[in-house]
Structure 1
Amino acid sequence: MQATASTPESGLLRRTKLRHFLRTRRAQVTPEQVGLVHVERRRTPGLRREEVAALAGVGVSWYTWLEQGRDINVSEGVVNAVSDALMLKGYEREYLYRLAGHNPPWPRGSRPRDANGVRMRALVEGWSVNPAYLTDRYGRIEIASNSARSLFHVGLRGDNCLVKFFTDPTVRVKYPDMDTVARGLVAHFRAQAARFPEDPEFDRIAGRLHEHSPLFADLWDCHEVDNPYQRVRRITHPQAGLMVFDRVTMRSPAFPESLLTVYIAQPRTDTAERVRGLLHSHARALLSPSLV
């Protein structure tokens, strides 16, 4: 389905992102991976443009224009063929479709009558001992359960999980797998930005973080995309020690722009007992990791 019409400025921005994305993905695919014979030494890694064009079944000039971000019409079939040629994963493929102008429009319409999120709040609070929170399209907290506020000591409306992670070093050290968490956060934020191509706030947030966080800047320039709906999160709590969760994210048709995140204590660990102990001792006043 064709995306909704965009302004000339937003179209230029989308094509710029498309150019960078195609170049970075092409550089990561070797000739051997796609069955091409590598007979000569190359100055740069990855596939050449003519090789991607051949694999996708399109003209070299046409693919060059596409990668240069020229204003050309791209069919869904060509997007799919280029995705195959570059060996794109699921959400990378979806991201390319969006940049090429073939994204289904995000469900629009008025929010439910309980504009304050009464139903969603009841759902979030219903997760009991498992921390849960709701974030908006940018990763800002809208609702946090009592267990989430007690465990993480964060949950004020408007707190941005991404910004806190990359601007507060005391947050990052809570995560033994900090590099993996950072990579996933940035890839997810880029995927979110593609869902709302007309919204300049994503670029403003990314621009500020790009200036203030070298780590974010390096990851953002990689142009990776992902939607980590389920990930293992290891969190080192200053009082409870190491806890291991399955971090699960979900979307609701009633709240299409929001994301519900739940931390489920992994079985065969003592994480649930540690969380209960913190809750029973009113740990919400203690310093804890940010919600990421």
Structure 2
Amino acid sequence: MSRRARVSPAEAGLPDGGARRRTPGLRREEVAVLAGVGASWYQWLEQGRDISVSPQVLDSVGRVLRLSNAERRHLYVLAGLNPPAPEPAADQGCEGLRRLIDAWMPYPAHIMDAYYNCVLYNDAAGWVLGMRPENTQNCLVDFFTDPLYRSRSHSWEQNARTVVAQFRAAASARPEDEGFQDVLARVRSASTEFTELWERRDIEDAGVIRKELDHPLVGLLCVESTAMRVPARPDLTVVLHTPLDEAGTAAKLEWLASPEGRRGAMYPVAG
């Protein structure tokens, strides 16, 4: 009722009825007509009666009431249905996320989309993880095909299974999504190791991964990568790398960010 009251007839494309109109916003009958449902059914919906509700009808009602994404999801919950996946807010760009990963310096951080395409990365991710413009810019493909990262990673074999299992979990949640199928085809054609791991059909949720890297300037680095979703941009994942209390990792990363370290860390080729 509160959402109905805030939508004027003019906003809904209806005549306002002039001074004779006493109902604030839209009447129940008007919402029903605009949503393509029966007036009695819509009244029962507002009253919370035990009626059959479909996602399509809730979407029609939400459109008429001009519900936000959060309000639309809440309507699904009130109706006892699984809410749809969050949608990125139209006015939420990557500027704030860029500030986040830059503030994470001198530790590596990057942002990727649902298909593991790299959207942004900070300078430390370039120095430590070897992220650079000439890569494919897909984190899954690069994990299996970038010789620089492969040569630095002491934990590559043990992490490879986890990476593939997490990608399978993400892809399985959207089986008809062509974006996942495209990435899968690319990495399968590029790596027999990926294909062998893919055939195991392991599943894991995204989370924390320990990484051990041998950097050509500072030696062993031990970090913990944490994948996090941002409510304002559910289509993106922020991956932050935190130094572990081993091998003096924090001090080494700080040195790499210093002027002296920057001069020597311009992606030296392994070997």
TM-score of the superposed pair, with normalisation by structure 2: 0.62
What one-letter code is carried by the residue in structure 2 that aligns with 1:123? L
SS in 1 for 2:253: helix
Q: Is 1:286–2:267 an aligned residue pair?
A: yes
Question: Contact between 1:152 and 1:288, CA under 8 Å: does it hold in 2?
Answer: no
Instruction: For 2:141 and 2:155, locate their aligned partners in 1 and report how far apart those are by CA, in whole Å.
Output: 18
Ranked by relative contact order (alpha carbons within 8 Å, sequence separation 6 or more), the top structure is 1
Q: For residues 284 and 199 of structure 1, do their structure 2 counterparts lie closer, same or farther at Cα, with a shift above 3 Å needed?
A: farther
Matched, 1:192 2:170: yes
Query: Aligned AA for 1:174?
Result: R
Deviation for aligned residue 1:105: 3.4
Of 241, 249, 252, the residue aligned with 1:274 is 252
Q: Select the residue among 66, 73, 84 that pairs with 1:105.
A: 84
Per the alignment, residue 177 of structure 1 pairs with 155
How many angstroms does 1:118 deviate by?
0.9
Matches of 1:118 and 1:288 in 2, distance apart? 32
Deviation at 1:238, TM superposition (A): 1.5
What SS class does the counterpart of residue 152 from structure 2 fall into?
coil
Larger CA Rg, structure 1 vs 2: 2
State how far apart, in whole Å, the 1-side matches of 2:250 and 2:144 are: 28
Which 5+ residue runs of structure 2 have no aligned equivalent?
A: 1-80
Distance 1:192 1:234, change over 3 A: same
Q: Please give the alpha-carbon distance, in whole angstroms, between the structure 1 residues aligned to 2:83 and 2:200.
A: 25
Query: What percentage of residue pairs aligned between the two structures are identical?
Result: 27
Match of 1:221 in 2: 199
Read off the aligned partner of 1:124 and give its amino acid letter: I
Q: Which of 201, 205, 227 in structure 2 is aligned with 1:249?
A: 227
Q: Which amino acid aligns with 1:201?
A: G
1:135 match: 112
Distance in 1 (alpha carbons) for counterparts of 2:240 and 2:145: 23
Structure 1 stretches lacking a partner, 5+ long: 1-101
Aligned residues: 186
1:245/1:265 contact within 8 Å kept:
yes
**Partners in 2 of 1:198 and 1:118 — Cα distance?**
31
Q: Deviations over 1:115-139 (max 9, x none)?
A: 3x11111111111222111111111
* Contact 1:136-1:258 at 8 Å conserved across structures: yes
Alpha-carbon distance, 1:213 to partner: 1.2
Measured in 2, the distance between the counterparts of 1:214 and 1:274 equals: 35
Query: Which of these residues, 198, 201, 218, is aligned with residue 240 of structure 1?
Result: 218
Q: SS at 1:285's partner residue?
A: coil
Pick the aligned partner of 1:149 from 113, 126, 130. 126
- Quote the RMSD (CA, aligned, Å): 2.4
Deviation at 1:211, TM superposition (A): 2.6
Kept in 2, the 8 Å contact 1:144–1:155? The answer is no
Q: 1:145: how far off?
A: 1.8
